[in-house]
Amino acid sequence: PNILSPHGQKEISASTRNSQPLDCAVRASPIGHCTTLWGSTMEARNSDPCATHIPEPGLKKVRCFSEFSHLPHWLLSLVISGSLLLCRKSYESLCNMYTKIEPLLETEHRDFTEVQNFIQSDVQRLYIKDAQGNSLVDKKQLEKILLLNYVCNLNAEYQQGFHEMLLLFRLLVEKEHEIYWLFQFFLQKTENSCIINVGVQKNLVILKALIAFMDPIFAKHLESKGEVVLSLFPWFCLFFQRVFKSFEDVWRMWEVFLTGHPCKNFQVIIAYTMLQMLMLSSVFFNQLCHSIVDLDADDLIARACNIYELFLKHEDKVKNSTVVPCNGDLEGMILMISHARSVNL
């Protein structure tokens, strides 16, 4: 069916703003360092059905880091062995460093003021009041954390949408240093998959390869309609934040991403699953990114697990397949499959 019309396509630059990187001399090191190449593998954990390894919902139960009994295992690792105190002291050190270099940034770094204005504008547009009109979140606090993240994180930069993501973390935990480190943990654990110039581009390349393998006819149809896959970048930039019917569903989806189950780069399987849902509903291109807004997270996860299991059954057909990245600055070629439980796209 003719489901993806190019009419109504919008410029990518109209949906997001990227800042230029700060000089390394004024950028602090990111927490930890991931030595594994981002898009290298999709690793199945074992031979059991994928869905059996999806963790039970737990993220939405967390109100602050001190409630250890309600923490999912991925978050519990942050608070063991006195790391709460370490996180707080480290955050205070970052704040002190920022206070000292802020005047220099304002006068010497041409992009700092522009990014600062972007952050203020984005945060001010957030509606964060309860039914009685009382403010639920300190907007100045969100601005401070986002600006500190821009200054201190070598990979994250700032892009439109971070303010919405950070708001969810603020609703999850309460203290300022907890919000900051949880945001850093999310970016690191997902290997910057939501960063446009880092993970998003690779997500799109992997997704294009996955579509070509799983459904060649559909892939040719998409190709005839133009750069359809590239138009899906908002899904990855916000990590599917706007496609669910509730905050709880967003948290549930993110929890699964953070645990690494059922495979690495599961966000690509999720995007492919959503495309399949669009194909069944005959949605046109100009409705593509905005037509899905009320998904149930557990239902989507179950569908995606089924697709991933189907993908793993076709090892013999793709064992020697390779896909050339569509973006010339991506290094090398992306292998389809190396063996039954390690998939290179």
d(CA 210, CA 14): 27
**301: Cα separation from own chain's centroid:** 16
Grouping H, G, I as helix, E, B as strand and the rest as coil, residue 342 is strand
Amino acid at 192: N
Q: Which of 103, 100, 101, 91 is nearest to 26 (CA)?
A: 101
Provide the pLDDT confidence category of residue 42 given band limits of 50, 70 and 90.
very low
pLDDT at 22 over 80: no
Angle 298-300-252 from CA coordinates, rounded to 5°:
45
pLDDT in tens, 285-335: 556 666 778 899 999 999 999 998 888 887 555 544 443 333 332 222 334
User: Count of alpha carbons within 13 Å of 93, Cβ hemisphere only?
Assistant: 7
Closest residue by Cα to residue 238 from 151, 167, 341:
167
Q: Are 267 and 273 in contact (CB under 8 A)?
A: no
Least confident window among 28-32, 48-52, 250-254, 304-308: 28-32
Contact 98, 143 (CB under 8 A): no
Pairing mode, strands 342-343 and 42-43: antiparallel
Q: What is the pLDDT of residues 101-121, one digit of tens each?
A: 999 988 888 889 999 999 999
Can you give the pTM of this predicted structure? 0.70
